[in-house]
Amino acid sequence: MKFPFCCFSSTSAAAPTNGSRLGQQTHENLRLFSYDELKIATDNFSASNKIGEGGFGSVYKGFLQDGTVVAVKVLSVELESMQGEREFVSELAVFSNIKHENLITLQGCCVEETYRLIVYDYMENNSLAHTLLGGEQNRMKFSWQVRQKILIGVARGLAYLHEEVTPHIVHRDIKASNILLDRDFTPKVSDFGLSRLLRDNHSYISTRVAGTLGYLAPEYAITGHLTRKSDVYSFGVLLMETISGQSVVNFDLLEGQKYLVQLAWEAYQASDLARLIDPMPGLNLSKGEEEAVRFLMLGLLCVQETARLRPSMSTAVKMMTNEIDIRDFKISQPGLVADLMKIKLGSKTSSSKSSITTATNTSYF
């Protein structure tokens, strides 16, 4: 069986790529690991070393022979659909020419028989979902300054992908479990398996919507029309989630399913956005509630139903750093996809096999 991608180290020759340019584009500093090497590093992929579960595989903590601690993502490759293979190729293709403080660093990969593994830097504080939303004890670690640093960092990483990289990159799955945190709580955007390249500022029409319910931009979910503003919407949801400490989707036996975007809009209409701020004592708002409310207003700007009204990510950064006054912008009604039946699915997929996942707090990729 031939695979369309090969990655290689600077000291090894590139293997044949079956006519694909992806192998030639791989960053020369990527290291080629053997399967046995990563098996030993993770103690045979033991359950005790498992640190996360993603849509296309599991992630394990590993110790290389030189003592380096890494995260090893083991992709599940379905031979019929080649789904895991597509995510593997997409992720490595993206990392072939990008580098930013707020993007996860790729160390290398493994391509052996049907095995597909990706090796990343290990993040000491796991993911934003695991740490911030993992319980009250964890949430107390997140002061206002830490949350502000995380959100500005994520925004800068996305602005780099959207505006500085050519062709532009749309991540397609921005959510709390895909924001990893290093020792100093510096955020790293991760998991580019669903990302898409946009050439010449054009949009992308997808025949198969992918992402996480609660974070999906309505125009993309319903029509498959993907633009950079789709990521902006997801970032707006992430911003609300980070400041409120609440899940994107909440289930109530009496009221049913409630979305964080709905709660934020209701609070805004009642001129009481402050009620959405996380009440945890560790938040320590040095400037009172005003700054957190300003960020929540940005979140609402990002999730507006009309995509063209949403700010670019570089503008969002300027709003968060007070270079642009958020209050100069009118906030219109947010968009929301609460009905799974409205999500566009490809002709060969069904709701059970689509790439839509629920907004759960799966940690580390």
**CA dihedral of 160, 163, 166, 171, whole degrees rounded to 10:** 60
- Buried/exposed 185-219: b ≥16 CB within 10 Å, e otherwise: bebbbbbbbbbbebeeeebbebeebbbbbbbbbbb
| Cα 188 from chain centroid (whole Å) | 9
Would you place residue 321 in the very low, low, confident or very high pLDDT band (cuts 50, 70, 90)?
Answer: very high
Where do the domains of the chain lie, and which CATH numbers do they carry?
Answer: 31-121 (3.30.200.20), 126-345 (1.10.510.10)
Packing angle of the helix pair 290-302, 313-320 (nearest 10 deg): 170
330 is in an annotated binding site: no
Q: Is the pLDDT of residue 17 over 50?
A: no
Mean pLDDT check: name the lowest of 40-49, 110-119, 202-211: 202-211
Q: What is the pLDDT of residues 287-298, one digit of tens each?
A: 668 899 999 999
Give the per-residue pLDDT at 99.
87
Distance CA 238, CA 187 (A): 13
Distance CA 305, CA 307 (A): 6
Residue among 239, 228, 243 at smallest CA distance from 310 = 228
Name the pTM for this structure. Answer: 0.84
For the ranges 58-62, 106-110, 210-214, 298-302, the one whose mean pLDDT is highest: 298-302
Choice between 7 and 18, residue whose per-residue pLDDT is larger: 7
Task: Give the active site residue among 36, 43, 121, 173.
Answer: 173
- Buried/exposed 245-262: b ≥16 CB within 10 Å, e otherwise: bbbbbbeeeeeeebbbbe
Helix, strand, coil shares of the chain as percentages rounded to 5?
35, 20, 45
Give the per-residue pLDDT at 339.
59
Q: What is the pLDDT of residues 73-103, one digit of tens each?
A: 998 765 444 556 777 777 777 776 788 999 9
Give the per-residue pLDDT at 338.
66
On the CB side of 302, CA atoms within 13 Å amount to 31
For the ranges 33-42, 202-211, 285-294, the one whose mean pLDDT is highest: 33-42
Q: Is the pLDDT of residue 201 over 70?
A: no
Residue among 156, 149, 107 at smallest CA distance from 125 = 149
Distance CA 219, CA 307 (A): 8
Q: Is the pLDDT of residue 22 over 50?
A: no
Annotation says 200 is catalytic: no
Residues in contact with 333: Cβ distance below 8 Å, sequence separation at least 6, in sequence order: 265, 304, 305
Count of other CB atoms within 10 angstroms of residue 28: 10
Give the per-residue pLDDT at 28.
57
Give the per-residue pLDDT at 260.
94
For residues 342-360, give the mean pLDDT. Answer: 50
Choice between 184 and 24, residue whose per-residue pLDDT is larger: 184
For residues 39-45, give the mean pLDDT. Answer: 96
Q: Is the pLDDT of residue 326 over 80?
A: yes
Count of other CB atoms within 10 angstroms of residue 19: 8
229: left (phi > 0), else alpha (psi -120 to 50), else beta? alpha
| Cα 135 from chain centroid (whole Å) | 21
Radius of gyration of the chain (CA): 20
Choice between 256 and 323, residue whose per-residue pLDDT is larger: 323
Give the per-residue pLDDT at 254.
63
Residue among 114, 96, 222, 101 at smallest CA distance from 154 = 101
Distance CA 54, CA 52 (A): 7
Query: CA angle 329-144-296, nearest 5°?
Result: 25
Q: Distance of CA 122 to CAs 63, 105, 111, 190, 336, Å?
A: 10, 9, 20, 12, 34
Give the per-residue pLDDT at 242.
95
Q: Please provide residue 334's backbone torsions phi and psi, each rounded to the nearest 5 degrees.
A: -80, 160
Any idea which residue has 């139903």 for tokens?
Answer: 305
Would you place residue 356 in the very low, low, confident or very high pLDDT band (cuts 50, 70, 90)?
Answer: low
Give the per-residue pLDDT at 269.
97
Choice between 9 and 326, residue whose per-residue pLDDT is larger: 326
* Pairing, β 187-189 against β 179-181: antiparallel
Q: Please provide residue 178's backbone torsions phi and psi, each rounded to the nearest 5 degrees.
A: -100, 10
Would you place residue 342 in the very low, low, confident or very high pLDDT band (cuts 50, 70, 90)?
Answer: low
Percent of the chain predicted with pLDDT > 70: 75
In the chain, where does DSSP find H-type helix? 22-25, 35-41, 83-94, 128-132, 136-139, 144-159, 218-223, 228-244, 260-269, 290-302, 313-320
Q: What is the pLDDT of residues 131-185, one digit of tens each?
A: 887 777 778 778 888 999 999 999 999 999 999 988 889 999 999 999 999 999 9
Mean pLDDT check: name the lowest of 137-141, 188-192, 339-343: 339-343
Choice between 335 and 29, residue whose per-residue pLDDT is larger: 335
Q: Please provide residue 114's backbone torsions phi and psi, each rounded to the nearest 5 degrees.
A: -95, 5
Give the per-residue pLDDT at 364.
60
Q: Is the pLDDT of residue 358 over 80?
A: no
Distance CA 198, CA 161 (A): 10
Q: What is the pLDDT of residues 209-238, one digit of tens each?
A: 777 888 999 998 888 888 999 999 999 999
